[in-house]
Structure 1
Amino acid sequence: MGDNGERRRAALVIEDAPDICLLVCDTLRQAGFESTGAGTGARGLELAKRLSPDLVTLDLTLPDIDGIEVCRQLRAISNAYVIVLSARDEETDRLIGLEVGADDYMVKPFSPRELRARVGAMFRRPRLEDPGAEPHAASVMRVGGLRVDTESREVVLDGSAVGLTRTEFDLLVALMSSPHRVWERDTLARRVQHTDWPGDDHVIDVHVANLRHKLGDTGRRSRWVTTVRGVGYRFGGTGSGSGAG
């Protein structure tokens, strides 16, 4: 608990190297988190169920379960932010990590200061489910068969629930909030409090692609999210087909 009696955010560090696990735990404690370490994927998943963490950092190379599979299973039980911290710096590993639900990807060796800054950016904007957050005057947005409740963070499409990660949900809400606006990638990244670091445009592209897939936006004509070539994205289907992203 914090000094004012409020619950401190919880962080789970899934990392098999003891020195790195200690470094990440200490870094996150300095950022105000109650940090717990886990040396295996199985232990991490067990603690995730028990602790309901707000943030998970995840190594991809674990002694028992591959980190990609751990991330996939985490997404089935947790809505926590997930940051991959891995020595695997191939683009394929980055893309797979994001596709299975990670919110960010940092390559080892990493700067603890940068880790704190990225985590701070994620949590800077109060969320509607957070205690003390201001209620939204119109918490339900509806367009066609799509219903988004920003208070309960539920998405229903044509009568069926759609499971989104935190970042995917925030992207959808941002796009729906200004349906005629064309969002540049870096502006969209800042809006959802993902990261301000240069070179992350492709990260937003992956999150948008995941969002579109879950909303059934497949093929050249989009029903919900349109790519505006050379600029970014806007909410709404394509007219004559401005391209799929």
Structure 2
Amino acid sequence: MENISILIADDEKEIRDLLKKYLEREQYQVDLAVNGQEALQLFHNKTYHLVILDLMMPKMDGIEVCRKLRTTTTVPIMMLTAKDQEVDKLLGLGIGADDYITKPFSIHEVIARVKALIRRSFIRENEDSFLEKTLITFKGLTINLKNYTLTIADKEIPLTAKEFELLKFLASHPEQVFTKTQLFHNVWGSDYIEDDNTVMVHIRKLRKKIEADSSNPKFIQTVWGIGYKFVGESDEN
């Protein structure tokens, strides 16, 4: 992951300089904007791998910048907010941001979250070729990505759109453990603002449809204290 470019938009010079200093220590290339309009201009003239936006900025705030960026790009976006109210945090995520952090912040926490967002973004890019496959197959289970159908033991199982997306995401990462928050952001994206109970409900419904015994699941297993993972035997003979 060389030549990673990050755009930071914040009207506080101290914040901009602090983030730039520490991110450049991590070998990232950093550009700075003092308001939302300047951030959009910079973004459209260069390729960036991450955008950090202050929630409150002159001329155009971070929320509006995020909305505009989301019409054309899926680049990871982190929101900075000085407000510690839950509504502000949810609003930041609800309009397409991938993460938020509240001021005053620990610079080391910011760096860790930046690395996580960039790593996740690169993983998604590398998975594109995998997801171009028409079928995801395991012994006893076939997911058809072209016509959005699930077949178990030669029987087609009806799923809702979100159930299918949840199963597809988990089955595309066999044996990888995901928290409820990670599943929510990857499957529901930025279209909804709900708590992680949404994920639990969909997991429960999905298990009832695909598991022979939903109380003792074979495919979607709980990793206690962390989240869920998909387990399936390869369909190769």
Give the structure-1-normalised TM-score.
0.60
Match among 101, 105, 110 for residue 115 of structure 1: 110
2:35 alignment counterpart:
40
TM-fit CA distance, 1:129: 3.6
The change in CA–CA distance for 1:178 and 1:61 in structure 2 (over 3 A counts) is closer
Q: CA RMSD in A?
A: 3.8
* Superposition map of 1:1-245 within 5 A: 8-124=3-119, 126-127=122-123, 129=125, 136=130, 139-141=133-135, 142-143=144-145, 145-146=147-148, 174-177=169-172, 187-189=177-179, 205=184, 208-210=187-189, 227-229=199-201, 233=203, 236=206
1:141-196, Cα deviation, whole Å (9 max, x unpaired):
5347449xxxxxxxxxxxxxxxxxxxxxx9785324269x9x9xxx424xxxxxxx
Q: Deviation at 1:79? A: 2.2
- Give the TM-score taking structure 2 as reference length: 0.62
Partner residue of 1:218? none
Could you tell me whether the CA contact under 8 Å between 1:128 and 1:135 is conserved in 2? no
Higher radius of gyration, 1 or 2:
2
Post-superposition shift, 1:76? 1.5
Letter of the 2:178 partner, please give it: L
Structure 1 counterpart of 2:40, one-letter code: L
- 1:76–1:237 CA distance, 2 compared to 1 (3 A): farther
Report the count of equivalent residues.
181
Aligned-pair distance for 1:72?
0.5
- Aligned CA distance change for structure 1 residues 135 and 11 (closer, same or farther; 3 Å): same
Which sections of structure 1, spanning at least 5 residues, go unmatched? 1-5, 148-169, 190-200, 214-225, 240-245
Over 3 Å counting, the alpha-carbon distance change for 1:17 and 1:7 in structure 2 is same
Q: Percent identity?
A: 32
Q: Give deviations 1:112-132, integer Å, cap 9, x for gaps.
A: 1111111222233543646xx
Please give the alpha-carbon distance, in whole angstroms, between the structure 2 residues aligned to 1:171 and 1:84.
Answer: 26
- Measured in 1, the distance between the counterparts of 2:147 and 2:39 equals 38
